């Protein structure tokens, strides 16, 4: 495939078709994870309440899921509500939960039609029963789908996930089902919420912040990170394409040296 180099700094002048032609479909990341940030700032810029930013953020979720499925990504994980987000005002928490429920109710038909398998990752215990019911309904209605796996991280914390995995493993050790020496990467992976999924190849964060914010701490050990200034509610197809093109320019080394860095003696 002929590759023209896209200058990401000049992205405003480039069409979506140009960006698409730049992508190598054979080297797409299997798993893309996104920290959706900037809803509040998007709203503040427009003198709107923060909740209006979250509502616009839910539209960006729709667009991004649709694009990811169309491109043929295997797995997309979106950080919707962290274990720390309970510290926000009650009305904002309520609005975020309502938006998720509304998203699932409205999009279920389209998730099914597009062969998308939806799953929640996070601690379900603290969630309101009405939220949990809608989540379980979405999971049940899509579990046989074989296309994009869509994870929504809700009441999710990377450390909490690791704590939960430790507890499960400790119970297995105490019951004699696992020997301490059998604990390895694979066993820990198997006890995470993302069990059986590939680790994210690409982590995207919007709104220019350079933080991990307790997201997928174990799984992002070797992820490529793409930070965009775009605020989440403005995130659209071209932002995702730009991130994927950026990813395809990286040389993934997993601790090895680069392929041009040495000559045999
Ligand atoms: C961060 O923006 C965003 C969140 C905490 C929530 C993300 C939620 C959505 C995109 C809407 C609903 C989700 C789904 C799955 C339908 P922020 O509020 O921290 O923004 P700020 O840093 O600019 O204040």
Domain ranges of the chain: 3-9+27-248
- Phi and psi at 223, nearest 5°, equal -70, 145
Q: Is the CB of 38 under 6 A from ligand 1?
A: yes
pLDDT tens, per residue, the chain with 265 residues: 334 455 666 667 788 998 999 999 999 999 999 999 999 999 999 999 999 999 999 999 999 999 999 999 999 999 999 999 999 999 999 999 999 999 999 999 999 999 999 999 999 999 999 999 999 999 999 999 999 999 999 999 999 999 999 999 999 999 999 999 999 999 999 999 999 899 999 999 999 999 999 999 999 999 999 999 999 999 999 999 999 999 999 987 777 777 666 766 6
Query: How much is the pLDDT for 14?
Result: 84
Question: Of the residues 12, 24, 37, 234, which is catalytic?
Answer: 37
- Top-level CATH class of 3-9+27-248? alpha beta
Q: What span, in angstroms and rounded, lies between the C-alpha atoms of 47 and 58? A: 19
- Estimate the share of the chain in helix, then strand, then coil, as percent rounded to the nearest 5: 50, 15, 40
pLDDT in tens, 125-149: 999 999 999 999 999 999 999 999 9
Q: Of all helices (H) and strands (E), which one includes residue 62?
A: helix 50-71
Q: Is the CB of 193 under 6 A from ligand 1?
A: no
> In angstroms, what is the span from residue 196 Cα to ligand 1's centroid?
27
Q: Of all helices (H) and strands (E), which one includes residue 79?
A: strand 75-82
The residue to mutate among 38, 39, 97, having the most atoms of ligand 1 within 8 angstroms of its beta carbon, is 39
The answer to whether 85 is a known catalytic residue is yes
DSSP category for residue 67:
H
> In angstroms, what is the span from residue 185 Cα to ligand 1's centroid?
32
């Amino acid at each position: 495939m002929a590759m023209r180099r896209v200058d990401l700094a000049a992205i405003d002048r480039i069409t979506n078709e140009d960006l698409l032609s730049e992508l190598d479909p054979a080297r797409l990341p299997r798993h893309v994870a996104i920290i959706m940030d900037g809803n509040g700032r998007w709203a503040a810029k427009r003198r709107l309440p923060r909740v209006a930013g979250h509502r616009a953020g839910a539209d960006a979720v729709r667009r991004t899921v649709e694009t990811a499925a169309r491109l043929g990504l295997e797995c997309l994980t979106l950080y919707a509500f962290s274990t720390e987000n309970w510290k926000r005002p009650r009305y904002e928490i309520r609005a975020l939960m309502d938006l998720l429920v509304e998203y699932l109710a409205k999009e279920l038909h389209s998730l099914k039609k597009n062969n998308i398998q939806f799953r929640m990752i996070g601690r379900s215990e603290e969630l309101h029963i009405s939220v949990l019911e809608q989540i379980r309904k979405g999971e049940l209605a899509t579990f046989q789908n074989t296309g994009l796996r869509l994870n929504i991280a809700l009441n999710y914390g990377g450390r909490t996930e690791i704590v939960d995995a430790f507890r499960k493993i400790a119970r297995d050790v105490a019951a004699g089902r696992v020997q301490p020496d059998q604990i390895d990467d694979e066993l820990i992976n198997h006890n995470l919420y993302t069990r059986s999924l590939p680790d994210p190849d690409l982590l995207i964060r919007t709104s220019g912040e350079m933080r991990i914010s307790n997201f997928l701490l174990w799984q992002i050990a070797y992820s490529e990170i793409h930070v965009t200034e775009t605020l989440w509610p403005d995130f659209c197809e071209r932002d995702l394409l730009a991130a994927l093109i950026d990813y395809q320019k990286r040389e993934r080394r997993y601790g090895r040296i680069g392929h041009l860095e040495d000559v045999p003696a």
